[in-house]
Structure formats: C-alpha cells, structure tokens
Amino acid sequence: MKNKIRNIFNKRYIKENKDNFFEGIIEEKDKISPAYVNLQNPKFIEIDNLYYGGLIVVDYYREQTDIILKTLLETNINMNISIFYEKQDQFKTIKDLTYHIGNVGVELRENNQNREDIDIAAFTYNDAKYIRKEIQVNNEDIYYLYIYISIYADDVKELEYYLNKIEGISQSKGLQTRRANFRQEELFLSCLPIMENNYSIKDAARRNVLTSGLLATYPFLSSTIFDQDGIFIGTNIYNNSLVFIDRYNNSKYKNANICIFGTSGAGKSFYTKLLILRYKLLGVKQYIIDPEREYNYLCECLEGFQIKIGPNSKTYINVLEIRKESIEDGESGYLATKIGKLIGFFNLIFGNLNEEEKAIIEEKLIETYKNKNITFDDKSLYKEIKEKEKIKKKFKGPEDMPILEDLYNILDKDLRTQKFKIKLIPFVKGSMKFFNNISNIKIDNELIVADIYDLGEENLKYGMYLFTEIFWDKIKENRNEKKAIYLDEIWRLIGVTSNKEVASFIYKIFKTIRKYGGSGVAITQDISDIFSLDGGTYGKSILNNSSIKTFFALEEENIKILSEFANLSEKEKIEIKSLKRGECLMFVGDNHILTKIECSKLEKQILEGEYINEKSNISDRK
C-alpha cells in the first residue's frame, strides 16, 4: 500500500516538473517587460515597435503669469510628462544667497559700468534679494524643478514631426527645451512612474522656483470626467483621456437628465442609441418615444418590446384608461390625476382651451367615468373577483375603462360641446379611430420603443403625449429602480405647435423625475422650435434642469439662439460650429469638455442594423 502511494506521488512530481520545464518560470515583471529595446540610435529609442524621443526643459521665462504646461497638455500628441520637485534647505539657501548678494553688490558699487554683463549682474542681484525676502518674510520654500517630456510615435518621421511641434509650442510658452540625444534611455526611465530622476540629466534640467511659482507647473488642468461607476462615452478631443459618466450619481450631479442637441447627421441619434445599448447591459429600464422609426433594429437586437400605433397597427392604447401605477402606493386621487393629464391631451386636439371650456370638458369627463362606475373615490377603481372561493379586490382592467366614443356621445348631448364633438370625429370614426379602442398591450419589458411614425407629421404630437403619460406612470412605479425616458424631437411637445399645459407636464417630468430614480432625455435638432413657446420658458427650464448637456454640430443661427439660453463662451460657440460628425461639446456638471464619441465594432454593427442583417445572412446560408 505504501509503495502504491509513493508511486502516485512520484508520478505527480514528475508531471509537475515536466510541465514547469516546458512552460518555464514566468514572474510578474516578465509579463510587463517589453519584448525588445533598441538603444543603438542616439536620437531615439525603439521599444516594441514604438519610437521614443525625449525633451529636457532647460530654461523658463524669468517671470511666469500663466500655467506653462496648459498648451502642451491640451494637444492630442502621445507623450508622457514627468515633473520632479526637490525641496531645498532654507538655512543653507539663505546663507548662499547672502554671500552672493554681498559679492555682486560690491562689484556693482565699484565702477564696473563698462562691463558687458553689468545688466545680467544687476538682474541676478535683484533676483537673489527677492528670493531671500520671500523666504525670510513670506515664509516661502525654495525648490529645484525638473521637467522632462517623452514623446512616442509609430515611426521615426512621425516622431520627428511631434518633437518639432512640441518644441515650437514650448518656445511660445517660454519653455526652452533641449533634445535628450545620447541620454534617451535616462529620460525615458525618468518619465516612468518609478520616481527615478536620473543624475545624468538632472544638471541640465535643474532650475530653482519658489512655492508660489510651483502653481505655474500645475498639470491637472484639462477637463476630464471619470466617474467610477459610469459608462464609457468617448475620449477628450484635447488630450485623449477617457470620458466615463455615471449620470445616476446623485452625490455628484443634481439630476440624471440629459439634453442632446445637434443638426441632422451630426451624430446625436447614434449617441442616443449608444446610451440605450450600454444602459440596457446595466439593467436600466428605458422607454423611448420614436417619431422617426430610428430605433427598430436596436430594439429587436436587444430583445426589447416595440409598440406601434397607427392606421395599420393592431396594438391599441386607450387614452382614457386609468392605470394602477399612475399614482404611488399610499397616495390617492386616481381620477383627479387622470383628468389633469387629459386636459393637456385635449388641448392638443381642441386648441388652447380657456378656463370655462376646461371646466366644461372636465364636467363631461367626470360624467363619462361615472357611467363606468368610476368616481373620485379610489375604491370605485377596484372590483371584487372570486378566486378559490375567496373574494378579492382587484384593480379594474382595460375592459372596464371608458373609451373616446363614450366621451364623444356625451359631448353630443350638450349644445355647448358640439364643437368639441366635431373635432373628435377623426379620433372616433375617421382616420385616427385606432385611438378609440380598449388597450390590448402590457408594458413589462426593460426596453420599450413607442413607434409613432405611422401617425404622420401632423398627428405625431398626440402619440408623443400619449406615450409620455404612459411611460411617466411606469417611471413612478418603483423609486428604487433606475429608469429613463427618451423624448426624441421634443420640440413637438414644448414648442409653438404645442400648448402650455402639455409643456408644463413635460417640464414637470424633468423637474421631478430624479425623485423616482429616473432620467429624462430631451433630443432635438430644431433649436429655434424648442424655445418658441412662451418666450422659450419651457425650453430653458428643461435645459437648466439637465445636469448633462450635449451639443453636436449646429448651424450658426441655432448657435445664436442657444447662446441666449445656455452659458456659452465665444470659444465654445466657434467649437460647436466646427465640430465634426460624432464630436460634441459636453456640459457635465461644472465641466465643459470636447468629446469624440467612441464605440466598438460590434456596437457599431448593432446600432446601424448590420448585426441583425449579418445574423439573417448566416441563418439563410444554414
């Protein structure tokens, strides 16, 4: 038995050693080490098919009034900048300065006015006195400052171009640089995050600076956003830093609302789809109103639920239906809440109603619901159902609700409401009679797309309002869930073609959606229309109640209108006008950042419908 056990262990030992022999010994440093390093050329070093060239900052303007590295950091050139500060002994510094001041002072007092370097001597004399005073009186420290720049590129010509460009930019900012020829390795190591300031290049780079002067070398000045739990948006155009935004971060942003403005073809729809795709992966419930039929492929690919209403549709939604989720648990007032929303809807159909007309319409609505045994008493919305020999109360379903034809018949009985009855004819008996049906759908998917394209240009606002109300009820259903509602072409609801009641409802959504864990997304290309109602009050309110504002390329006229309602600088106006497709100016909280929207190849295929087509082709071939 012992021999058998010994043989088993011997075989295992031989196998393990055999495996180690073929695999070799790999340590952590081997995993991050380059495959090769070529140091033969004194002007650059080559590491894994990348070429590195270095610059040493050897001198500065005598006085700096600006952040000296700002222009360098805002370029999109691949480079690493290393800054070292070495604090010096105050006592020794004051002693050396005093000795220098004494010697130079004697020389200046003696009649050496004919010396060619008399001006330089005077400058050094005054500088030394100034530094000593700042150390002794203002309690400043003195440091040695070292700045190194390592630039890398895919080939030597590109590297040379970048080196020349950085040298030119540095010169314009008062930085005198010297190429690290024959010392490229030392400079490369000094730019690695290993805290090594190589002695062989220190003497060339060393310059003294007071504590107050260190502010000019502050490196963290390019706007960047990197929320820990955020989704990837793209890259900073200036410095290629990654942009991650967590719009649901309540501690950082006052709300999760987004405004997306841009002219046709600028990339706003692609960006919106990208947000929907990435938040779907995080399990966020999303409701999209789609007037242009742009989200069909995305909905299909993400296994969402699509609702179509129109003349050819077999799905119906009853505008008079009261849903259980329309108010929160513990609250009351189902019918009162519903009537308030319906007044806004009928404002779209009947035109702007005055107070007397609103009162008459409300009276007829109350009568319509009363005929279905629904009153202001919330208990009237429950019916008794027998289940397993027990009587249970259940919220009334779609079949228990009145439809538009019920209201139409009541309006017909009163001479005061005859004109309203006539305007309801298309919705009851005419081209839009699909509004006059009992609801036959359930909204219980994480991704819902409301396709209202078939309604036609003139009638889109009715569908948009209808679905906005339904989605708003779903958003209020559970405060603990993250959700979002996307209002594409929002100008139809808050622009001049709408009315104050509808616009107020939309504004209320953007103002209060944060309390329900939600996010409102306003999308439009018609800047003039969004600010056209009531002097732009509602457009401005929605803009101000959005923590994240995304501006794609806009025409000059639209930029001029936008600048009246948004805090745009002159530089930002020029930037918006010159943005390329897929580039945008983002206002995220207090940060203003130029961003290039980025996505993977697979994401692009999904967003452009190629992924579904490719799957279909594969299925056909099979």
Q: How confident is the model at residue 619, as a pLDDT? A: 46
In the prediction, which pLDDT does 173 show?
87
Domain extents in the chain = 2-27, 35-217, 254-315+441-622, 322-440
The whole-number pLDDT of residue 622 equals 45
* Residue 603: CA count within 13 A, CB half-sphere: 18
Tokens of 535: 């002097």
pLDDT at 6: 53
Percent of the chain surpassing pLDDT 70: 91
Q: How many CB atoms lie within 10 A of CB 520?
A: 28
- Look up tokens 């480079």; give the residue: 79
Please state the φ and ψ torsions of residue 112, each to the nearest 5 degrees: -110, 35
Q: What is the pLDDT of residues 339-390, one digit of tens each?
A: 999 999 999 999 888 999 999 999 999 999 999 999 999 999 999 887 777 7
Contact 222, 74 (CB under 8 A): yes
Contacts of 541 (CB under 8 A, 6+ apart): 507, 510, 511
Query: What pLDDT digit, counting tens, does each position of 180-220 carry?
Result: 999 999 999 999 989 999 999 999 999 999 998 888 888 87
Residue 261 near residue 550 (C-beta atoms within 8 A):
yes
CATH architecture of 322-440: Orthogonal Bundle (1.10)
What is the pLDDT, as a whole number, of residue 114? 57
pLDDT digits (tens, 9 = 90+) for 549-591: 999 999 999 999 999 898 888 889 999 999 999 999 999 988 8
Q: Could you give the CA distance from residue 411 to residue 115 in angstroms, rounded to a whole number?
A: 106
Rounded to the nearest integer, the mean pLDDT of the chain is: 88
Q: What is the pLDDT of residue 621?
A: 43
Nearest Cα to 54, choosing from 235, 234, 184, 229? Answer: 184
Q: Quick one: tokens of 568?
A: 């745009």
Continuous segment of H or E residues that includes residue 136: helix 118-136
Residue range 330-334: mean pLDDT, rounded = 86
Length of the chain: 622
Instruction: Examine the pLDDT at 618 and tell me if it is beyond 50.
Output: no
Which position has the higher pLDDT, 66 or 166? 166
Q: Give the pLDDT score at 224.
A: 75
Angle between helical axes of 355-370 and 334-350 (0-180°, round to 10): 130
Burial zone of 127 (CB within 10 Å; 0-12 exposed, 13-18 middle, 19+ buried): middle
Residue whose tokens read 């930002």: 572
CA distance 249 to 177: 43
Residue 522's SS3 state is strand
11-58 confidence digits (pLDDT tens): 555 555 555 555 566 777 777 888 899 999 999 999 999 999 999 999
* Residues 269-286 pLDDT 10s: 999 999 999 999 999 999
**Residue 490 pLDDT:** 94
In the chain, how many H helices and how many E strands? Answer: 23, 20
- Residue 550's pLDDT is 96
Q: Which two tokens stand for residue 179?
A: 């190429």
In the DSSP assignment, the letter for residue 323 is P
Which pLDDT value is given to residue 581?
94
The confidence band for 336, taking pLDDT boundaries of 50, 70 and 90, is very high
The whole-model pTM stands at 0.73
| Residue-wise pLDDT tens digits, 383-413 | 988 777 778 889 999 999 999 999 999 999 9
Beta carbons within 10 angstroms of residue 356's beta carbon: 9
Summarize the confidence of residues 406-422 as an average pLDDT.
93
Cross-strand bridge partners of residue 521: 258, 486
pLDDT of residue 154: 93
Beta carbons of 240 and 73 less than 8 angstroms apart: no
Note the pLDDT of residue 14: 56
- The confidence score (pLDDT) of residue 366 equals 96
Residue 222: DSSP 8-state? S
3-state DSSP of 542-569: HHHCCCEEEECCCCHHHHHHHHHHCCCC
Rounded Cα–Cα distance for residues 378 and 502 (Å): 25
Of 104-108, 182-186, 499-503, 532-536, the range with the highest mean pLDDT is 182-186
Residue 113, pLDDT > 80, answer no
- Check whether 10 has a pLDDT greater than 70: no
* Distances in whole angstroms, Cα of residue 184 to Cα of each of 72, 161, 421: 20, 17, 85
CA distances from 147 to 121, 312, 356 (A): 27, 70, 76
* pLDDT (0 to 100) of residue 591: 86
Looking at 3.30.465.10, 3.30.70.20, 3.40.50.720, 3.40.50.300, the CATH number of the domain 254-315+441-622 comes to: 3.40.50.300
Half-sphere exposure of 155 (CA within 13 A, CB side): 2
- In angstroms, the CA 393 to CA 371 distance is 20
Give me 291's structure tokens.
């007037």
Give the mean model confidence (pLDDT) for residues 248-253: 92
Whether the Cβ atoms of residue 446 and residue 304 lie closer than 8 Å to each other: yes
